[in-house]
Structure formats: C-alpha cells, structure tokens
A = this chain, B = another copy of it.
Amino acid sequence: MSIIIQKFGGTSVATPEKIHAAARRIIATKLQSHQMVVVVSAMGHTTDELLDMANRIAPNPPKRELDQLLATGEQVTIALLAMAIHSQGHEAISFTGPQIGLITDAVHSKARIREIDKQRILTELTAGKIVIVAGFQGMTVDGHITTLGRGGSNASMVALGAVLGAEACENFTDVDGVFTADPRIVPEARKIEQISYDEMMELSSVGAGVLQTRAVEFAKKYNVRIHVRNSAGNAPGTWIIAETKSMEDIVVSGCALKKELTRVTLKGIPDRPGVVARLFTVVGERHIVVDDIIQNVLDDKTANISFTVEHGDLADLKPAVDQVLAELGGHATYEKDLAKVSVIGVGMKQATGVASTMFTALADKNINIQNISTSEIRISCTVANTDAAEALRAVHRAFNLDRSAVTV
C-alpha cells in the first residue's frame, strides 16, 4: 500500500468547516487504498496573532521562547483535524514535531531538519490510522522546541515524503497551483502543469510564495514528487518533478517578484584578501540570507561592497555590519524600498536573447534597472518597489507567458 502525504496550509484549515473539508479529502484518499500521512500548518492567521502577542510582551524576544510559542499554532490544528476525522468515522492520531522525533539543529526560528523517527509513524499507519503531523516544528536533541522558518510546513512535508518513501506529496493551498506570475499582480497569469525542481527553486528564491526553496531542494535530492493543488475542488494543480526533456522546449516557465528588499552598501572598506570573507561570516552567523553581492574596487586600498537583504532581516543585520565596520573601518548606507523581478526557465540554458527581451520590456515602460543578476536558468533585475508590479506585468507579456508554449 503506497503512502500519500497531504499537506494543508493555514488557509485550508482556517475554520472548523475547512478542517472538516480537509478531513473528508483525507478520508477519500485513504479509501483509494493509500496509507495517509497529513501535515498541517497553523489555522489562518494564528502564527501572525502569536507573533503580535509576543511583540506586545517584548520587542525582541528570545528566539527559543518564540519557537516555544509559535509551535502551539500547529499543535492546535493537528488535534482539531484528528477530532474531525474521528467524528467522520475514521481513526486518526496527531503528533507534534517532537513526538515523531523530528530532530533539527539548534538554530531557533530557522532550524533545519536532521532526522525523523519513521518507525513511530509506520506503526500507526500499519494499525490503519491516519497520521497527522504538525508542520513547521521539531526539536533539538536536547528537547528544545524549534521552528523551521517561513514555509517550514513544506519542509516537514517533503522530509516526511523522503523518509517514508511516499508516492507523492499533495500540497493543498488556496491557489490552483504554480502560476507563470502572481495572478494578483498579473491577471493573465496561467497555471503551470509541471515544472522542474530547479525552476521551482529559482522561482521560490525570487519570490514565488508557493513553496520555500529548501523544501524543493530537499524534494529534488530525494526525488519526492510534489503536487500543488487547491483545497477547494478536485482540479489537478502543478506537479513539481524531475526535469524532463520536453521541459527544455520552454525557454521561460515563469516570472516572479520579490518586494521589500534593502540594498546595503559598505563604502571604503579595505581591499585585501579576507575582508569579504570576514563580512559574510559575521552576517552568516546570524542566519541572514544575502543576495546580489557586488564589489567595486575604488583605488589601491579601498573597495565598496553592496548586497541585498529582506527588510525583515535588517534588525538582525545592522549589529553585524556595525561589528565588521568597527573592525575594518568604512561606513554603511541602506537603500530601502527595492524589488526584484525575475524570469526563470530551464530552456534558457540553450536559448539566446532572453536577457535583451527582458531589458527591452522594462526600458519600454521607462523602468530603471538598478542591478542585474543571473543564474543558468534565471535573470533578475532590481527595480524600485513602486515600479515592481508594472515591471512584472511587462516581463510576463514580453515572454508571452499568458500562452502555453513559449519560445523566444
């Protein structure tokens, strides 16, 4: 009997009615001769409400205690979902992250999964029960509760899929799948039927909110098939799978927008070996994700270096930057209100002219490009936050993403 993992995001379990709907879907899938493992997020806006509560208590609470607090959100959902399934006549048992021995490192608020005790889950599956697991959480080997950071429930889903050798991970959410762009910004955006792990990772890393980058990275590593679907209705969504030959015919699969970025520039720092390493070691120790690093040498002795971070990381970043500047000299400037528009496609590896199409589309709209970065399957342009939505629409149109097969 194959194992199916179903994951329900916060909006899909936001009310008792939605929890019952999720229960019906889980039971229906079980009745198709599957063993069911279900991962859930906190209901609706619970996590934000808990964060608000913490902020009312203390401006900068210890992260261990924040994790202790936030982990309650998912624990409420697993219990309620187990009750709903039980009331619909089927057996279910709920587990917190710690209860299934989901061991993580000790980086509170951004912990990474190390191992899962699959035996506990398999025992309950063999007994015919539906197993419900709290996403987003685990514990250190010392028993401290940790959370996995934004989109952590997807990491839980994929890790369970990998450990249990699941046939598929069905990721239920409030959208129909992965789109060629955010439909709230680009109304003509189109649902993508299947997309490769690499494309999905790039899309996630540049702002497509459906799946967090490391969940997809993990899925690729263990070849876990993910099906992103809408929890309302039975329509197929987007399959995230290993790259196929036919995917290469599509030059650009999608585009995405990442807003609320800040560019940090360190001016007049010494231009000698080890300086950059020192800077990003200090920043890295705070687990801040840094992007778009550019270095300019000014003269024999000094250089400027700039990079972008998310607004949310600024409070953590500034002390690190100050520490480095105190050691090395120089000063820092912060440019807020930036955004990044990106196009992604595995076909880009073979195609030409993608960059010029993108730059032309932005130029035609009189949008100033402040920075450009690329990977093998991605081109990104940094623009002002105020230009961001128009930039995304222009790029989407330029690559004809509203139509199925796209060539340049």
* Closest beta carbon of chain B to A3's beta carbon, Å: 22
**Nearest residue in B to A50 (C-beta to C-beta)?**
B76
Chain A, residues 51-94, CB within 8 Å of chain B (1/0): the string is 00110111111101110110110011011101110110000011
Give the distance in Å from the alpha carbon of A80 to the alpha carbon of B51 in the complex: 10
Give the distance in Å from the alpha carbon of A237 to the alpha carbon of B99 in the complex: 41
**Nearest residue in B to A94 (C-beta to C-beta)?**
B68
Asked if residues A71 and B80 are in contact (CB atoms below 8 Å), the reply is no
A145 contact set on B, CB distance < 8 A: 96, 99
A50 contact set on B, CB distance < 8 A: 76
A54 contact set on B, CB distance < 8 A: 79-80, 83
Q: Which of B71, B87, B93, B96 contacts A64 (CB 8 A)?
A: B93
A58 contact set on B, CB distance < 8 A: 83-84, 86-87
A19 close to chain B: CB less than 8 A: yes
A16 close to chain B: CB less than 8 A: yes
Q: Which residues of A are interface residues toward B (Cβ below 8 A)?
A: 16, 19-20, 50, 53-54, 56-62, 64-66, 68-69, 71-72, 75-76, 78-80, 82-84, 86-87, 93-94, 96, 98-99, 143-145
22 residue pairs bridging A and B, Cβ less than 8 Å apart = A16-B56, A16-B57, A20-B57, A50-B76, A53-B80, A58-B83, A58-B87, A61-B86, A62-B83, A65-B79, A65-B80, A65-B86, A68-B75, A68-B78, A68-B82, A68-B96, A69-B76, A69-B83, A72-B72, A99-B143, A99-B144, A99-B145
